[in-house]
Structure 1
Amino acid sequence: MAQIDYPEPIRALIDELKRMPSVGPRSAERIAVWMIQHKKRNPLELASALERAEDEVILCPTCGFFARDGGCDICDDHHRVPQLFCVVEQATDVLPIERSGAFQGYYHCLGGKLSPLDNIGPADLKIGELQRRVRGAIEHHDSDETVEVILALSSDVEGEATSNYLAEMLRDLDCRVTRIAQGLPAGGGLEHADELTLMRALQGRR
């Protein structure tokens, strides 16, 4: 007898779900079956939300955070401190810092971190864009106000290497370069830190 399996549309759905981070074959199967037969399922609404996100959401060409064609909520906020930049690895690192309430400046998302083993070098990150933004802020700031760049990268080997590279790169510019204070777990990223830890880390930067 032939082995019985799910119909092809369900197998295709499972295959797509398996491509998501942290979703293994068994989890993908459970999610797919739930989406097909649970009474609270809303597959059409889910499909519509995915389509809208695909069509309408972009990465801000200035800071790299999630935005829409109409603009970026962060870059369009003129109440922020124009001489203060916080450099993070990914767009997802912005919200934990925002929720801490300890930072009132602008962000710059690099799009990753230096990793020679993965063939990720300076040209693969938005480092040139950071230089241009900092230079622009220096040219337009008042003489008694210092432009500060806060490096809020993860504390693993790649994050440390990236922070050291950026600090060296920014050394010749007329700006202050700081790093968030220790307090994040060794080898961990911002997405795992609670709001209080992030607030203390930002307030205790050196």
Structure 2
Amino acid sequence: MNAFPEPVDRLVRELQRLPGIGRRTATRLAFHLLKDTDDHAHALAQAIEDVKTHISCCGICFQLTDVEPCRLCTNPARDASTILVVEQPGDLMTFEGTGMFRGLYHVLAGRIDPLAGVRPEDLTVPALLERIDVPEKNARGVRVTEVILGLNPNLEGDSTTLYLAEVLSQRDVQVTRLARGLPSGSQLEFANNAILADALHGRQGVEDGVG
């Protein structure tokens, strides 16, 4: 028999569904919410509802946005001829945090993983190629001249980088990748700004090798 009232137990179970949250942490968070003010609890609930209701993916770069196109794609101060390809919106925010990149992004919404059944067409790869092949499909109708492959330095990320490098080599666009400085198997979101800034600044052509 559960010692918690049903609403508390249900809250704990829902919190456990979040990444990295086990039963103990979920219970601690639930009790924190119970002790918090009604205003804070309602503000959290409203923020979650607003995100689910008003946030979608930009039709150009596929980052999270509440306007269409997103504010990065419509910003005239950004260099729309350079696209940094990342796996997830969180990676985009990580690069933005460096303050070093002034181009645009393309969020793949994952990475190629044959064992998990994830193919290029399951990601936003076709939309990336369309942005390159048809300038009108890119932000502000600008022709893409450089694509930077900024995927996580692990097996699936490197495999996706190799695939994209091969496909993009058939197009009139410069293809570069981040300079090696990130530990193999690591995640970009955990890298510090200095390392990411160096990786961007020292990016190299894919002909210099991947891996």
TM-score by length of structure 2 reads 0.89
For 1:70-89, list aligned pairs within 5 A. 70-89=68-87
State the Cα distance separating 1:137 from its structure 2 match.
3.6
Alignment deviations for residues 54-100 of structure 1 (CA, whole Å, 9 cap, x no partner)? 11111112111110145411111121112101000001101111121
Question: CA contact under 8 A between 1:82 and 1:137: conserved in structure 2?
Answer: no
What residue in structure 1 maps to residue 209 of structure 2?
A: none
Larger Rg: 1
Q: Please list every run of 5 or more consecutive structure 2 residues that lacks an aligned counterpart in the other structure.
A: 205-211
Pick from 110, 116, 131 the counterpart of residue 118 of structure 1: 116
Q: Please list every run of 5 or more consecutive structure 1 residues that lacks an aligned counterpart in the other structure.
A: none
Question: CA contact under 8 A between 2:60 and 2:69: conserved in structure 1?
Answer: no
Q: 1:164 to 1:7 in 2, by over 3 A?
A: same
Q: 1:198 and 2:201 equivalent?
A: no
| CA RMSD after TM alignment | 2.0
Distance 1:99 1:38 in 2: 31
Q: 1:125 to 1:54 in 2, by over 3 A?
A: same
Distance 1:99 1:46 in 2: 25
Q: 1:13 and 2:32 equivalent?
A: no
Pick from 160, 163, 181 the counterpart of residue 162 of structure 1: 160
Distance 1:82 1:37 in 2: 48
What residue in structure 2 maps to residue 152 of structure 1?
A: 150
Among all aligned residue pairs of Structure 1 and Structure 2, give the percentage whose two residues are the same amino acid.
Answer: 36
Aligned residues: 201
TM-score by length of structure 1 reads 0.91
What residue in structure 1 maps to residue 127 of structure 2?
A: 129
Q: 1:4 to 1:168 in 2, by over 3 A?
A: closer
What residue in structure 2 maps to residue 187 of structure 1?
A: 185
Pick from 84, 105, 108 the counterpart of residue 106 of structure 2: 108
Question: CA contact under 8 A between 1:84 and 1:149: conserved in structure 2?
Answer: yes
> What SS is found at the alignment partner of 1:100?
coil
Moved over 2 A (4+): 37-41, 136-142
